[in-house]
Amino acid sequence: MEYYVHESAIIDEGCRIGKGTKVWHFSHIMNGCVIGENCNIGQNVVVSPDVVLGKNVKVQNNVSIYTGVICEDDVFLGPSMVFTNVINPRSGVNRRGQYQKTLVHKGASIGANATIVCGHEIGEFAFIGAGAVVTKNVPAYALVVGNPARQTGWISEYGHKLKFNNEGIAVCPESSEKYLLKENKVTKLS
């Protein structure tokens, strides 16, 4: 086995788990999941059937990832954050087969206790603040906070708030990478 699974974790048959991935205490990886290389699945995590996680995804403790969720490479899911997969759940009404998709693009971070309402996309390197409730699509490099989540700025790939000059250029203070804000979209300049 090229990945680590704690003895208290449960891995259902039919899962594909990448080399170097670690699955910690009391977690349950359900059938049909695809988990990329070098992921870290924290304690007490549930990954429902057919979820896809890319490479180097970090899932902190007590996270629920429900069917319909796809996380691309380098996504961070903070402690106790949760995804939904049905817009109108009822105990007495079976909604299986009505699961909505949620796509979290490369490099995005979702803070502790945040909720991502199903049917939305989180853009590349977006940053969802702790406790935020996301009810609509989030653009790439956006910083969103609150309930409902509102955009309060833009953020670099290193997680620093960007300050744009009159020409629409910002520089990350850690990486010195430059970003362009044009027509309410941010792109990294090469």
Digit-coded pLDDT (tens) for 41-87:
999 999 999 999 999 999 999 999 999 999 999 999 999 999 999 99
User: Largest Cα–Cα distance in the chain?
Assistant: 56
Mean pLDDT of the 114-139 span: 98
Would you say 26 and 20 are in contact if contact means Cβ atoms under 8 Å apart? no
Digit-coded pLDDT (tens) for 137-159:
999 999 999 999 999 999 999 99
Inter-CA distances, 7 with 26, 27, 35, Å: 8, 10, 18
Mean pLDDT of the 150-172 span: 98
Mean pLDDT of the 29-37 span: 98
Instruction: Give me the pLDDT at residue 182, please.
Output: 97
Other beta carbons within 10 angstroms of residue 93's beta carbon come to: 9
Q: What is the rounded distance in angstroms from the CA atom of residue 141 to the CA atom of residue 126?
A: 4
Residue 112 structure tokens: 């502790």
Digit-coded pLDDT (tens) for 90-121:
999 999 889 999 999 999 999 999 999 999 99
Q: Which domains does the chain have, with CATH numbers?
A: 1-155 (2.160.10.10), 162-190 (no CATH)
Radius of gyration of the chain (CA): 17
pTM for this entry: 0.97
Would you say 3 and 33 are in contact if contact means Cβ atoms under 8 Å apart? no
